[in-house]
């Protein structure tokens, strides 16, 4: 059973509500921004958002760059593995959302090192990714050809914890493994959720 058509609307709805749990900050770096659809959900006005993406040929991203009504948004091209264009400790929040599954293990480590460098000591990182456990359950593990690897709850924590500590964790779309029932309002059981959401601070 492929849940994607039905689940995607539910996932997006819950992820929108999860953005309300993020604190108001002044400077945000959004990695792998593409068309900026995730950062559009961030509810706090007055912050400066820097969108970074490495695909300068993406027409959707070009349109987003050209929006005139987003004066508080800076759009730059570059790789998440090399954030040398940004100073140390220059961001209050880094959005690392639905990107880790597109990176090699070596590039993940480089990216986490760079995030650690540009993040303020009191800053936070939002990490989100599909949950391998649930994807395997539905038979869609790595069904996306652009996913290099997907991770379970424990695997993701293990990758993050040398550099970051998880201070809050949520899940988008809780699923009862025993019955296969979808419970769309439960977001405090990330281990059994379709999408993992970790809010982290520097160790």
Domain positions in the chain are 4-202
Q: Are 120 and 89 in contact (CB under 8 A)?
A: yes
Q: Rounded to the nearest 5°, which phi and psi values hold at 11?
A: -60, -45
Q: Which of 51, 60, 32, 38 is nearest to 146 (CA)?
A: 32
Give the model's pLDDT for residue 13. 64
The mean pLDDT of the chain is 80
Q: In the predicted model, what is the mean pLDDT of residues 60-87?
A: 73
Q: Which of 142, 119, 134, 133 is nearest to 199 (CA)?
A: 119
Q: Are 203 and 165 in contact (CB under 8 A)?
A: yes
Which token pair is 6? Answer: 């039905």
Give the model's pLDDT for residue 68. 43
Residue 127 has pLDDT above 90, yes or no: yes
Give the model's pLDDT for residue 53. 86
SS3 assignment, position 90? coil
Half-sphere exposure of 7 (CA within 13 A, CB side): 20
pLDDT band at residue 1 under the 50/70/90 scheme: very low
Class for the domain spanning 4-202: alpha beta
Give me the numbers of helices (H) and strands (E) for the chain, helices first please.
5, 8
What is the pTM (predicted TM-score) of this model? 0.83
Residue 140 has pLDDT above 70, yes or no: yes
In angstroms, the CA 120 to CA 117 distance is 8
């Amino acid at each position: 059973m492929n849940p994607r058509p039905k689940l995607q609307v539910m996932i997006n709805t819950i992820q929108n509500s999860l953005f309300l749990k993020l604190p108001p900050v002044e400077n945000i770096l959004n990695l792998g921004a593409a068309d900026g659809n995730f950062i559009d959900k961030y509810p706090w006005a007055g912050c400066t958002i820097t969108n970074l993406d490495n695909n300068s040929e993406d027409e959707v991203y070009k349109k987003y760059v050209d929006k005139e009504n987003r004066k508080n948004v800076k759009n730059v091209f570059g790789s998440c593995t090399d954030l040398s264009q940004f100073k140390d400790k220059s961001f209050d929040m880094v959005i690392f959302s639905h990107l880790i599954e597109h990176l090699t293990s070596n590039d993940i480590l480089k990216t986490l090192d760079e995030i650690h460098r540009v993040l303020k000591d009191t800053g936070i990182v939002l990490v989100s990714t599909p949950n391998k456990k649930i994807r395997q359950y539905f038979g869609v593990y790595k069904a996306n050809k652009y996913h290099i690897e997907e991770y379970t709850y424990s695997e993701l924590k293990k990758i993050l914890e040398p550099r970051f500590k998880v201070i809050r964790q949520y899940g988008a779309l809780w699923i009862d493994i025993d019955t296969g029932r979808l419970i769309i309002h439960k977001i405090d059981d990330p281990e059994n959720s379709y999408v993992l959401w970790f809010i982290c601070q520097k160790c």
